[in-house]
A and B are shown apart, each in its own frame.
Chain A
Amino acid sequence: MALSGIQIYKLLPQTNCKECGFPTCLAFAMKLAAKQVELGACPYVSEASKKQLAESAAPPIRLITLKADGNEVKVGNEVVMYRHEKTFYNKPGLFLRVRASDPDLAKKVAAADAYKVNYVGMDFTINGFALELDADAAAAVKTVRGVTRRPLILIGDAAALQSGLSACGGETPLLYAADASNADALADLAKGKAVLAVKADSLDALAELTQKIQAKGVEDMVLDLGGKNLGEWLMRSTQVRRLALKNFRPLGYPVIFFAAQNGVEKEAVYAAQAIAKYAGFVVIDTFAPEMIYPLLVLRENLYTDPQKPIQVQPGVYEINQPKPESPVLVTTNFSITYFAVANEVEGSGLPAWLVVTDAEGMSVLTAWAAGKFDAERIAKAIKGFDLASKVNKKRVVLPGHVAVLSGELEAELPDWEVRVGPREAVDLPAFMKQALN
């Protein structure tokens, strides 16, 4: 946790020599606490104080980066228990577990690597692979590297990890996992080359182990909290987050969670809890788009900054090369709303002018209720974007949810025909075919 100005003052020379440009050490300390100056401006701070100040400035949960050739996954650096307090920053990495012994290894990895799903204009993928080294490790790493450039988690005993790691070249994989029996060997192996996962049966044992490993010079660690079911894991994960935010360094690392630990039928639910409740890495065993897609959406939703709804630029969007006789549809600039509508129209193959009004990033009904999507604003957009010059059939379609606006809009746009569309975007194509001819 960051130190207060007074705490910092105690670490300064307290001679008020003014060389830093401030009249007193205390004034300088206050500026430091507010992060408005650099410690380097004082030439007289002791090495011991420097170290202490650097430690206090470190984030409560260490930022961990797994790297592969050109690809990386960053997790950690979180600062709150609840997203409304600020936001959750670094989305947990979603990794698919595969086995070195699997004769279809290359095929499976290639298929999952190619997986891509679009959600409100963003392409989501899985983030990497967790490779179980249950057969020739170096060969398996080579096979995997032949088909993916995503970061790796290597799972195995010390010998397997060693040969797996050396096959990884200049990457930074995560080695899973050090426990009381092999901590020394794995710390030596990971030092400077890899991130090390650490596991123990209790938080006490875990903290002891991370300290021991840190003393051996390994800074980058990830915690496996164990826990027999959803409830136990939730408590441990909450405790670790709390302790870390209170600056308890031995547990100030991201957490890894294996979603299929109690069976693949529970995997989706287990992974969902882990995403919501503080995991840094979530490992799944099943490559099932029908599970991965909702998990990726959940992750996106919970890691959205609560202060900023995702928005699109207001304007006229031309869908399927509209012509002068094509209809004008209006909607808001909330991303989810825009893409719901744009995707439907695009998918139908029917041309349309889609007018996106500036509704401050709110959905149709929210914006309507907040007075950001009314007849006046819609008319202003239609005029402002000069739709009249683009069409020869002045016909504008309102979202069905705001049918009440049609009268007022007619008054605002006397030479336009105002139509009320369906409530849900899914029904737009049918409506456009039937009602708009």
Chain B
Amino acid sequence: MPIEIPKDKWPGSIRTVTIGATSAEGGTRTKTVTVGGGTTMPYLHFESPTPNKPALAIEIKSRKPADWSPLLAEVWGEAMAEAAQWAKKAEEAGADLIVLALTVEDSPEDAVRAVKSVLGATGLPLIVWGPGQAEKDNELLVPVSEAAKGERLVLGICEDKNYRTIVATAMANGHLVEARAPMDVNLSKQLNILISDMGMPKDRILMDPTTGALGYGIEYGYSVMERLRLAALQGDAMTQFPMIVTPGFEAWKTKEAKVGEGVPEAWGDWKARAVNWETLTALALVESGADVVVLRHPESVRRVREAIGELVMA
């Protein structure tokens, strides 16, 4: 007798969001990236297919970072000194989109120059992060937003303490925003409501649930993502945004990834361990519903891409 497989029927679904605009759409991108649209828990094709696979972004910086792991410096080499070169190499490494992280040392002119150079160097859609200090974020992101009007960039990172200026400039110039709340379903919802209330169209918000690295709090993010996805499928409109996660940033902060010497022998080969740290952090988040995954090492990009291929094709 055939088993009857229990299937969930959900009233809600994840919104579809498109990043980047081609010349026909008012931008200059040669490709756009569409994510979201899911109507089931991740990759349960016996209920319904996955409409859009998660996109992989590679994070680059406007200036050569001094504190990145030597393993990353080794793989990106000279290109790290110049955002445009770095972006090109990231595209070659298989990125679907680029995250350009600006730094506190950047002046508004530097920031605009860096964004323009990256837009010139690759046709991929672009996410731009401020340096993460409220005033500086606003100082840099507003001119960037204006200079790249119509490109459908993603601007971030909006947090409850600082979202108004970023949202306003993104709205005025046809961009999207990344909305980050600290691993809490209600705080995520609240921020999404605040941003929507400003008039930001709902297909221009990515939700960032905050990522913890493997060994450093991944379980919190993992479960919050599952809960956000469940809430969205149950029909809660303010959790139905695609999720963006930052395993590259988090994993490469850990000692396991950063440090090669003076660590326990039981940690094994440094490079393989570091890449595993990033890859497995990312994989766990893909399983729990990530739609945009921001990575740093090309090898992780390759492996996560391969895994996603198997998950969506099954």
Contact = CB atoms under 8 A, between A and B. Distances in A.
Interface in A261-317: 266, 268-269, 272-273, 276-277, 288-295, 297-298, 301-302, 304, 306
Given A204-B3, A235-B44, A290-B272, A302 B222 contact: yes
A20 to B, nearest CB: 37
Interface stretch (A93-101, A137-145, A240-248, A410-418): A240-248
B164 interface: no
A118 to B, nearest CB: 7
B215 A336 contact: yes
A288 B265 CA distance: 11
Q: Which of B265, B313, B314: most chain A Cβ within 10 A?
A: B314
A84 B227 contact: yes
A13 B49 CA distance: 51
A424 B182 CA distance: 19
A269 B309 CA distance: 13
Interface stretch (A153-161, A184-192, A224-232): A224-232
A34 interface: no
A290 B46 contact: no
A289 to B, nearest CB: 3
A277 B283 CA distance: 12
Contacts, number: 149
Interface in B263-278: 264-270, 272-273, 276-277
Contacts of B253: 424
B276 A268 contact: yes
A231 B310 contact: yes
Given A238-B44, A276-B287, A291 B264 contact: no
Interface string B277-311: 10110011001100000000000000100110011
Interface string B243-260: 000000000010110110
What band does the interface of chain B fall in when counting residues whose beta carbon is under 8 Å from A?
A: 35 or more
A117 interface: yes
Contact of A231 (B6, B230, B313): B313
A292 B226 CA distance: 25
What band does the interface of chain A fall in when counting residues whose beta carbon is under 8 Å from B?
A: 35 or more
A402 to B, nearest CB: 16
Contacts of A231: 43, 45, 310-314
A318 B215 CA distance: 25
B216 interface: yes
Contacts of A229: 310, 313-314
Nearest to B267: A293
A340 B215 CA distance: 11
B219 to A, nearest CB: 4
Interface of A: 82-84, 115-119, 203-204, 207, 229-232, 234-235, 238-239, 242-243, 246, 248, 251, 266, 268-269, 272-273, 276-277, 288-295, 297-298, 301-302, 304, 306, 336, 340, 347, 363, 366, 369, 424-426
30 contacts: A82-B223, A82-B230, A83-B223, A84-B227, A203-B5, A230-B307, A231-B314, A232-B314, A234-B314, A235-B314, A238-B44, A243-B6, A268-B280, A269-B279, A269-B283, A272-B280, A277-B287, A288-B272, A290-B267, A294-B214, A297-B215, A301-B215, A301-B218, A306-B219, A306-B223, A336-B215, A336-B216, A340-B255, A366-B182, A426-B258
Q: Give 3 closest A-B pairs by Cβ, nearest first.
A: A231-B314, A290-B268, A289-B268
Given A230-B314, A235-B314, A242-B5, 17 more contacts: A83-B222, A83-B226, A84-B227, A119-B215, A203-B5, A230-B307, A230-B310, A231-B310, A231-B314, A235-B43, A277-B287, A288-B269, A289-B268, A290-B269, A291-B276, A363-B217, A426-B258
